[in-house]
Amino acid sequence: MTNGVDMSWASNPDWFHFEGLVPVIHDDAPKEAKDSYERYVKQPYGKEKNKNRHVV
């Protein structure tokens, strides 16, 4: 992973779907995609760390 946002979970559209504007990882996604998604949702957004992020 680089210093950027971890989005490798989104590299295959069969691994996730959107509920409104919130991405949701599928239960049958590979472990690597699930791990990437977990890192993605834990990353800070903007100047205030995790204040306005959606929790899935």
Q: Which two tokens stand for residue 53?
A: 């992020």
pTM of the predicted structure, to 2 decimals: 0.67
Check residue 44 and give its pLDDT.
78
24 - beta bridge partners?
17
Check residue 35 and give its pLDDT.
94
Check residue 1 and give its pLDDT.
45
Print pLDDT tens along the chain (56 aa).
Answer: 455 778 899 999 999 999 999 999 999 999 999 999 999 888 876 555 545 555 55
**Every domain of the chain and the residues it spans:** 8-42
Instruction: Give the chain's largest Cα–Cα span.
Output: 34
